Amino acid sequence: MKYAHRLLVSILIFGIVSYKANAHDPDQFSYQFSYGKGANEMIIHLTPKSAFDLILSLKPDLSDTAVIRLKDYIVDYANYFNKTVQLDINNNKVDFILYATNLTEHDATLSFQINGYKGAYDDFRLSISSFTEIYHHTENNVRVPTSQGELNFILDKDKQTYMQSDTTIKSSFWSGNVKIYALAVLALLIVLGLSLGVVRKVKPN
């Protein structure tokens, strides 16, 4: 009876852990860039399974190991993402310093400080090839802040590179604002025209 009870508890625990591990697809990732008064950062959101699959891909001899502690391979993670994430800002290549990890939670994260640049991402070229050799399909959701607002785009196996120039951002910003200003001026002219028409009608001869 005790054995059956323990078996039932084990099955329930396994089911809960499996549910948590599969709630997010391991081949979908989020790359969130940020900037502020301090150093620029890049935070990668993934799952514990994808972090585990990456280490097995880098070190296939670990497949026969009974216990694998992901925290023992921080250097491997740092080296891998410095090779598979290429960021050029203002024609200068930057590198990433891994300073924090959380690989056991459902929403696993790798936090990098961007070395060599501070400020908005107004002129950059970003290429991401991470996990493309591991999964048949990869989806990298990217968020990048610029001085005019946040950019959101997706990179995958078919499209691994995104480019954004300062000129493009400014022209897009100004073209949008010019349209607004043009509409405002047009509305003002219509109001003035109607007002002049009313004044002429009521003006005594």
pLDDT one-digit tens code per residue, 143-170: 999 988 999 999 999 999 999 987 554 4
At 196, is the pLDDT very low, low, confident or very high (cuts 50, 70, 90)? low
pLDDT, position 76: 97
Euclidean distance between CA atoms 130 and 107, whole angstroms? 18
Euclidean distance between CA atoms 189 and 199, whole angstroms? 15
β-strand partners of 62: none
CA Rg value for the chain: 27
List alpha helices for the chain, DSSP H.
2-22, 48-58, 74-84, 166-202
Task: Sort 109 into a burial class: Cβ within 10 Å, 0-12 / 13-18 / 19+.
Answer: middle
Euclidean distance between CA atoms 2 and 119, whole angstroms? 62
pLDDT digit string (tens) for 101-135? 999 888 899 999 999 888 889 999 999 999 999 99
Return the half-sphere exposure (C-beta side, CA atoms, 13 A cut-off) of residue 23.
11
* 41/188: higher pLDDT: 41
Q: What is the mean pLDDT of the chain?
A: 80
Cα-based angle 76, 72, 128 (whole degrees, multiple of 5)? 30
The answer to pTM > 0.85 is no
Instruction: Quickly count: other Cβ atoms within 10 Å of residue 121's Cβ.
Output: 24
* 41 in Cβ contact with 99 (< 8 Å): no
